[in-house]
Chains A and B, each alone.
Chain A
Amino acid sequence: MAAMSVVSAYAVDISGAGATFPYPIYAKWADAYKKESGNGLNYQSIGSGGGIKQITAKTVTFGASDMPLSGEQLNKDGLTQFPTVMGGVVPVINIEGVKPDEVVLDGATLANIFLGTVKTWDDPAIKKLNANVKLPSQPIVVVHRSDGSGTTFLYTDYLSKVSADWKSKVGANTAVEWPVGIGAKGNEGVANNVSQTKGSIGYVEYAYAKQNKLTNTKLVNKDGKTVTPTAKSFMAAAANANWEATPGFGVVLTDEPGADSWPLAGATFILMHKQAQDAAASKEALKFFDWAYGKGDKMAEDLDYVPMPDKVVDAIKRSWAKEIKDKDGKPILALSN
């Protein structure tokens, strides 16, 4: 106990780097945490790839990535991984006279639009799903991200799961070889190009679409039900996932089963070394995330992120005790409960 109070008597800055998607919530958590504990968080949102590189090079206490690493990759670099918050990706469109939540698309049609085989909005495949919507005979302009991003990973991962064509021709990654369309930088770039171009379709983070009142579509999920993107439908996707069976909780929440599941959800992940180089810094980082799981849910919801289910959080904390150790092989953070 004495040692602990000595540690917290100094204001410690935890250093992390990586994904841009969770940056707003990490910044908000860090701000509140600093007020409570005096310890700050220095988080550089440089992108998931940068986060993975920096944690591998041991220049930061934790890295952050929207694309989970496989168990194999984690073992190779001696890393452990856990999710912090979830979010969703939504297709956004610009068709004259069409309002949000009006157009319904299914995975196969979405893949064919982005493959360039469905070329106009009055294509039979789209018409069949939208009997009541008046769709123009207008060419479809595809807009995608030009910068590598976790959003693109989730989106292409989903298309790979629902379309064999997509899987063999394009595949899933933070950046892919897009068959058609124009590339725009960042969520704001995609949103801007979609809102300027008649007949366009793109994809953005849910929080971004909601805050900017973009025209989103509904999607048909794995169970064949039509769902609307909301925090509830993201939660439903998370509830049906098999978290503990996946190494590093590396579940990608796309095309999950369940009647209410939004098929395009995903978590963002934290990467840390199993054997901490600087045990004190790692401990501070874990204390920060422990605090965030406990007190950060409301803040996350305010920013349209979805908190992790309690069951998953418990499992994550158990994994810390088991996996993150100091040089003597002792767990760095003893469980608080």
Chain B
Amino acid sequence: MEPAGRRTVADLALQTDAIGTRPAADRSRVLAKLKFSDLAFHGLTRAAAILVLLLLSGVIISLIIGSWPALSKFGPGFLVSERWNPVTENFGALAPIYGTLVTSFIAMLIAVPVGLMIAMFLTELCPQFLRRPIGIAIELLAGIPSIIYGIWGLFVFAPFLQDSLQPFLISVFGNVPVLSALFEGPPYGIGMLTAGLILAIMVLPFVTSISRDVFSAVPPVLKEAAYGLGCTTWEVARHVVLPYTRVGVIGGIMLGLGRALGETMAVTFVIGNAHKVSASIIAPGTTISATIANEFTEAVGDIYTSSLIALGLILFVITFIVLSFARYLLLRIERRIG
């Protein structure tokens, strides 16, 4: 007896089981077949997952090999030296590391609260007819290539800052101790603050989109219950929505931070590309990825190239530390909640 042509294996298994027209041996054969396809699927997906690990270790290994000449020459001093002199081949990573962290910090300082507020507005307060346009606008922001942000930043945003925001900051904070050091120097228009602001715009969609999605996944019954107790919208957002979606929100923030740390093109255009560590955030600086993008093509000499690869390795490590820290944070929160 031939099994019916198009039936699935599962149908067949059911049939043999229910009607019992076939001997038990057949049934085990069908089950074995099922087991085989399950095993094959298991193997395939596991191979795909392991591939990621292999790729990642491949990247790390080649980064370490590539950066070895520089790291062995400069030692741990590479991390704390501000020198970046291609002529004498004396390199240090402090300025790019500092610039990367400062610009990302400025970006997150702005993008996280603004992004959360937009997401909150979209899910809790926004009238129906406005939701789609605002939502689409946010997603379009994410779709703009970074080079466009760079050109816009250089030609439009930087001159605007030079004429308006920077002179304002300098004059307002000029006489305030501590803060005056943050806004010291001539208003170039470009610099670490400009780069941070551009980055904030670039990571905003990541924070907003993911927060909005997780906010709208909060069961309505929870919110209704809170409102029923007489909570205000703020209280519902603060004590129901945010705690419920904490994990998702932090995930979105980390995704944004990852982009801010590694963003290259837009930053290269507006940061001023000076290998200097300055307290002032309106002064020109540089980031790891901007340095690599700027100098890789003309880097002649092994130590120069190797130092650039070493910068890449450092960025890799920074990203790894940030992500681990985020995981640790999540773990702690979870444990505290019980």
Contact = CB atoms under 8 A, between A and B. Distances in A.
A171 B155 CA distance: 32
Contacts of A48: 297-298, 300
Contact of A177 (B87, B159, B297): B87
Interface residues of B, number: 32
B79 interface: no
A23 interface: no
B272 interface: yes
B297 A172 contact: no
A141, A173, A181, A189 interface centre (most CB from chain B within 10 Å): A173
B86 A176 contact: yes
A257 B88 CA distance: 29
B168 to A, nearest CB: 18
A271 to B, nearest CB: 12
A178 interface: yes
Interface stretch (B9-17, B47-55, B104-112, B183-191): B183-191
B186 A196 contact: no
Contacts, number: 91
Interface residues of A, number: 32
Interface string A180-196: 01111100010011001
Interface in A170-223: 170-178, 181-185, 189, 192-193, 196-197
A266 to B, nearest CB: 15
A177 B85 contact: yes
Nearest to B275: A177
A248 to B, nearest CB: 15
Contacts of B155: 192
Interface in B74-130: 83-88
A183 B86 contact: no
A71 interface: no
A93 B273 CA distance: 20
Contacts of A171: 85, 87-88
Nearest to A181: B274
Interface in B271-293: 272-275, 284, 286, 290
Contact of B159 (A52, A174, A175, A196): A196
B298 A174 contact: yes
A189 B269 contact: yes
Contacts of A16: none
A139 B298 CA distance: 31
Contacts of A176: 85-87
B198 interface: no
B295 A147 contact: yes
Nearest to B301: A49
A174 B188 contact: no
**Residue in B162, B186, B275, B300 with the greatest tally of chain A CB atoms within 10 Å:** B300
Contact of A141 (B86, B186, B274, B296): B186
Contact of A182 (B84, B190, B300): B190
A177 B299 CA distance: 14
Interface string A137-180: 00101000011110000000000000000000011111111100
Interface in B240-287: 268-269, 272-275, 284, 286
B158 interface: yes
B198 to A, nearest CB: 15
A172 B87 contact: yes
Given A49-B297, A174-B300, A196-B159, A182 B83 contact: no
B301 to A, nearest CB: 9
Contacts of B189: 196-197
Nearest 3 Cβ contacts at the A-B interface: A148-B298, A47-B297, A183-B273
5 contacts: A49-B300, A67-B300, A177-B87, A185-B268, A185-B273
Given A146-B286, A149-B298, A196-B162, 13 more contacts: A141-B186, A146-B290, A147-B298, A148-B294, A148-B297, A170-B87, A174-B298, A176-B85, A182-B284, A189-B154, A192-B154, A196-B159, A197-B188
